[in-house]
Chain A
């Protein structure tokens, strides 16, 4: 396989808009459609986005892009509708980070603002810091790990997927939740009537351990509490 450092592409986000980035990657890559097989020797293995200073919509619509490193922080709706790739953001993320994510993995080394992973249908999002309110709102299959704490309304309207919270949670944990699972290590300020606490079983521990391992976070998965909706969607 080709050495990633030799094939790295770099875009300066101060000079490149989100659409220009999307067009540039699609124009030069012949395998842009997600149904097609990802070529591991593609020139985007090791894509680097520099000068990220909170610009909105960075990476929105990107798919099949291999490994991406973003130097700096991203703004609102970054990596919306993302799929099939691995992104590491070395700063913070704005509102609606990973909105509608379909697959792949997004890692944020800093913190995230509102509505992290909203309406996501697949993939994995890992936040090494904290997240503001409405984490995983309306989520439909994504796995989200927040190493720190989350604010109010975490897991609001979740339909499926997994939310792992390493710290504590704010008010109304699991409001209007219809499916999926919330694992939390700390204490929520309040828990919605729509969810109930269940006993942590071995499959839960395994799942937490696997997702933590994938996200490069050390944890045994033993100290978590489990919340699931009172009535699962039929």
Chain B
């Protein structure tokens, strides 16, 4: 295959990429025929910040939670983040290095796509949220063993212990906004329970985006699955709740989405962006199957720079996914977000 067979992508940042795809996609075949017609719809997610004109753009509409939750080593994180940066993908997690003393300005060059996280019952760390493009409150149960300095293996509660009602959460969100100069979108990640009520609670508290965690697991053990709720109905209920609130809150979905068609279905149902975690986990290189199948061990096959042939699988896999998504959008016709 010629190295520049994917040079006609609608995203100009990907046009110059020399990495070839594994197979030629519909988009790559059909796009030269449709040049200049804007035939391929642009799929992106724009998350605005309430009270200001600032917004976080996810283009393509992907994000990943693996940096924070896959238990990667520092070296693995660095390699992973380098790949994410080259793809402009948003990621959720803390900064790798101590951040230099700088004014609180989001969207700075060193972490343009980092979404800082604040866990339930954990103190607000000003250094972690500094220089982030957005902040996500983790309003879901987390097994202690996945957290730093964990001592107990049990679940943390889903609502912060100091919050009793949505006015208090609204105040906390307003405080976080004030810390970032009202330029940083604030969101919340939740696991489906009473979906409609939970989403209404968060929307009424003033979040800019909500991340739904459906069928997401920490590692691949079923005991670590945070929710088994079905994806479709959860998205539909969330969309209804947001619509009933009259807010412009964006919906992000993290679930067992392993290909472009499933992701596109989520986008059609009303999600604004989807996580690529499950896709990456199932896209592992077959020649390097780890003994213990967690995502951390999958990526450990990818980490040593000496094995140059095995650690570059991530980039073409995601490029192929983007292409698949555009194919679905092209096939579906008038898809607009």
Are the C-beta atoms of B126 and A95 separated by less than 8 Å? Answer: no
State the 7 A-B residue pairs at the shortest beta-carbon distance, nearest first: A100-B123, A32-B101, A118-B162, A138-B161, A100-B124, A33-B101, A77-B175
Q: List 8 A-B contacts (CB under 8 A).
A: A19-B104, A23-B104, A26-B104, A33-B99, A60-B175, A81-B124, A138-B160, A157-B121
Question: CB within 8 Å of A: which residues of B?
Answer: 98-104, 121-127, 151-152, 160-162, 168, 171-172, 174-175, 178-182
| B98 cross-chain contacts in A, Cβ below 8 A | 33, 35
What is the bound-complex CA distance between A77 and B171, given in angstroms?
8
Residues in A97-111 with C-beta less than 8 Å from chain B: 99-102
Chain A's closest residue to B180 (CB) is A19
What is the bound-complex CA distance between A134 and B163, given in angstroms?
11
Q: In this assembly, does A234 line the interface, its C-beta being within 8 Å of a C-beta of chain B?
A: yes
| B175 cross-chain contacts in A, Cβ below 8 A | 56-57, 60, 76-77, 80
Name the interface size band of chain A. 35 or more
Are the C-beta atoms of B152 and A80 separated by less than 8 Å? Answer: no
Are the C-beta atoms of A60 and B162 separated by less than 8 Å? Answer: no
What is the bound-complex CA distance between A77 and B178, given in angstroms?
11
| A81 cross-chain contacts in B, Cβ below 8 A | 123-126, 179
Question: CB within 8 Å of B: which residues of A?
Answer: 17-19, 22-23, 26-27, 30-36, 56-57, 60-61, 63, 76-77, 80-81, 83, 95-96, 99-102, 115, 118-121, 134, 137-138, 140, 156-157, 233-234
| A34 cross-chain contacts in B, Cβ below 8 A | 127
Which among A18, A30, A32, A99 is the interface contact of B162 at CB below 8 angstroms? A99
Are the C-beta atoms of A119 and B123 separated by less than 8 Å? Answer: yes
| A35 cross-chain contacts in B, Cβ below 8 A | 98
| A61 cross-chain contacts in B, Cβ below 8 A | 104, 126, 179
B40 to chain A, nearest CB (A): 41
What is the bound-complex CA distance between A80 and B101, given in angstroms?
19
| B182 cross-chain contacts in A, Cβ below 8 A | 19
Are the C-beta atoms of A22 and B179 separated by less than 8 Å? Answer: yes
Which among A17, A22, A102 is the interface contact of B123 at CB below 8 angstroms? A102
Are the C-beta atoms of B101 and A26 separated by less than 8 Å? Answer: yes
Identify whether the interface residues of B are mostly helix, strand, loop, or mixed. loop
Besides A63-B126, A99-B124, A138-B121, 13 other A-B contacts (C-beta < 8 A): A19-B179, A19-B180, A19-B181, A36-B101, A56-B175, A76-B171, A80-B175, A83-B126, A96-B171, A99-B123, A99-B162, A157-B121, A234-B151
Q: Do A121 and B126 contact each other (CB < 8 Å), given the known contacts A23-B104, A157-B161?
A: no
Are the C-beta atoms of A30 and B123 separated by less than 8 Å? Answer: no
Are the C-beta atoms of A115 and B178 separated by less than 8 Å? Answer: no
What is the bound-complex CA distance between A115 and B172, given in angstroms?
12
Chain B's closest residue to A30 (CB) is B101
Are the C-beta atoms of B174 and A56 separated by less than 8 Å? Answer: yes
| A30 cross-chain contacts in B, Cβ below 8 A | 101
A19, A30, A140: which has the most chain B beta carbons within 10 Å?
A19
What is the bound-complex CA distance between A233 and B154, given in angstroms?
12
What is the bound-complex CA distance between A233 and B149, given in angstroms?
13
What is the bound-complex CA distance between A142 and B58, given in angstroms?
39
Which among B122, B171, B179 is the interface contact of A95 at CB below 8 angstroms? B171
B49 to chain A, nearest CB (A): 13
A100 to chain B, nearest CB (A): 4
Are the C-beta atoms of A120 and B123 separated by less than 8 Å? Answer: yes
| A156 cross-chain contacts in B, Cβ below 8 A | 161
Chain A's closest residue to B128 (CB) is A81
| A234 cross-chain contacts in B, Cβ below 8 A | 151-152
Are the C-beta atoms of B104 and A22 separated by less than 8 Å? Answer: yes
| B125 cross-chain contacts in A, Cβ below 8 A | 81, 100
| B152 cross-chain contacts in A, Cβ below 8 A | 233-234
What is the bound-complex CA distance between A77 and B99, given in angstroms?
24
Are the C-beta atoms of B151 and A233 separated by less than 8 Å? Answer: yes
A137 to chain B, nearest CB (A): 5
| A26 cross-chain contacts in B, Cβ below 8 A | 101-104
What is the bound-complex CA distance between A36 and B101, given in angstroms?
10
B84 to chain A, nearest CB (A): 26
| A63 cross-chain contacts in B, Cβ below 8 A | 126
What is the bound-complex CA distance between A119 and B125, given in angstroms?
11
| A76 cross-chain contacts in B, Cβ below 8 A | 171, 175
| A120 cross-chain contacts in B, Cβ below 8 A | 123
What is the bound-complex CA distance between A81 and B129, given in angstroms?
11
What is the bound-complex CA distance between A115 and B123, given in angstroms?
13
Are the C-beta atoms of A56 and B126 separated by less than 8 Å? Answer: no
What is the bound-complex CA distance between A129 and B66, given in angstroms?
47
What is the bound-complex CA distance between A30 and B104, given in angstroms?
14
| B121 cross-chain contacts in A, Cβ below 8 A | 119, 138, 157
Are the C-beta atoms of A19 and B162 separated by less than 8 Å? Answer: no
Are the C-beta atoms of A140 and B172 separated by less than 8 Å? Answer: no
Chain A's closest residue to B177 (CB) is A19
Are the C-beta atoms of A56 and B171 separated by less than 8 Å? Answer: yes
What is the bound-complex CA distance between A10 and B103, given in angstroms?
20
A60 to chain B, nearest CB (A): 6
